[in-house]
Amino acid sequence: MHIVYLHQYFVTNAGSSGTRSYDMARQLVRRGHKVSLITGMLDHSELRCDRSLWQKHEVDGIDVYVLNIDYGSGGRPVKRVACWLMYATLASMLMLRLRKPDVVYASSTPPTVALPALVGRLFRRVPFVYELRDLWPESLIWVGLRDGSVAVRAMRVFNRLTFRFAERITTITPGFVGPLHEVYGVPEDHIDVIPIGADSELFPMLEPGDPSGPTFREGPIGPDDMVAVYAGAFGRANHLDYLLDAADALRDRSDIKFLLVGQGKEKAHLVERIERDGLDNVIVRDPIPKTDLARLLPSADIGINCVMDGDQNRVAFPNKAFDYLFAGLAVLTTAPTHGGGCLQDLVETERCGSGVDACDPKAAVTLLRAWADDRAGLREMGERARAVALGNYDRDQLAGDLEDLLREVVSTGGEAA
């Protein structure tokens, strides 16, 4: 098959952001397919466009077309939307110029990535599959946008158009299936759940006490400390003050260390608070390339997923959680106050972690004290986490699921298109 893969922020393992589209495209190429991936420029990526409207790169067999437009993730909302629309415009132009593909795989966010897929569907009769990685406009309503506003109504109209013309829809979490069915009337047999997963080949498994290889255990982090790592965005929605509140209450436990790895708008505030309050048990590091992070994570004990309480917490299943599982870390996730989060359900069912009330840092404090006092039990949780990841979330396996879906769409949806 010739597959056009639309994803506005493509990052390889040399970058410091999510690499799902890179891994899935690479695995599809390994299976003998031609993949033309259309992306934009991103601070976390080394791929650039130095001339004209787009520039072609060859990356591990993938034809990567980098459009001359930044993703715009750090700007004001108006600027970000303008960047998204510019990507959609240039990608639509390129869609009309490329050799006609057999199928298009359009991966949001942003939702405007569906526009070039719709162009291919309407003008070249190419079927497409739409990957839903965020719920729009619901995610904006959860953070304060008024339901019923012009922006919300416009996005819902656009969603209905996208879902109407997409041959199938994939989601990264089962939490999205309900809203798709209930709000937009998408039949459940039209929806496939393909989790984000991770590349198992990146993650070595260290034996307990093995000092070899790269490690987080240096400087203020001792070899016998229990290390709880958060690796991800430092944004408002991540609510990292929650972790600093927990660290403040754990001053008496010098053997418990928090390590925060990443970047974002809240970073300066967090660093200032750590220094002001003398939180010597919290260490902050800049973003680390994915290949290096994957080798470092197994030297920690706990992986933290931290997010504000709310409906978005119930459906979220973020990249970092899969990295923690593959690294063999017990997972601590801040869970919805009344339970029911997808990640909490997984880690507690598989006995490889626990959810704690996202509004009560004392709950995290109690859990961390207990885990620090039971290192053998903590290691067993990490072993179960690794087993769950290898059995269910390896991107090699997930790419096989995607390949089967795309083949089905080409054999049946192509005629309908």
Q: Are residues 18 and 95 in the same domain?
A: yes
- Joined together, the tokens standing for residue 10 give 């493509």
Q: In what order do the strands lie in the sheet with 256-263?
A: 282-285, 256-263, 226-233, 302-305, 330-335, 353-357
Q: Are residues 166 and 248 in the same domain?
A: no
Q: Are residues 17 and 130 in the same domain?
A: yes
Count structural domains, the chain: 2
Q: Are residues 353 and 214 in the same domain?
A: yes
For the chain (length 417 residues), average pLDDT per consecutive 10? 94 82 96 96 74 89 92 70 91 96 94 95 96 82 71 87 95 89 90 94 71 80 95 90 98 97 94 97 93 92 90 77 96 83 91 94 97 97 96 95 97 62
Q: In what order do the strands lie in the sheet with 168-171?
A: 54-59, 62-70, 34-41, 2-6, 103-107, 128-132, 168-171, 191-193
User: What pLDDT shows up at residue 300?
Assistant: 95
Q: Are residues 272 and 190 in the same domain?
A: no
Q: Which residue has the tokens 């390129």?
A: 94
| Radius of gyration for the alpha carbons in the chain, expressed in angstroms and rounded | 22
**Model pTM score:** 0.88
Q: Are residues 210 and 192 in the same domain?
A: no
User: What pLDDT shows up at residue 144?
Assistant: 67
Which of 23, 115, 119, 108 has the alpha carbon at shortest distance from 71?
Answer: 108
Q: Do the Cβ atoms of 266 and 234 come closer than 8 Å? A: yes
The enclosing domain of 412 has a CATH number of 3.40.50.2000
Q: Are residues 34 and 87 in the same domain?
A: yes
Domain encompassing residue 349: 200-392
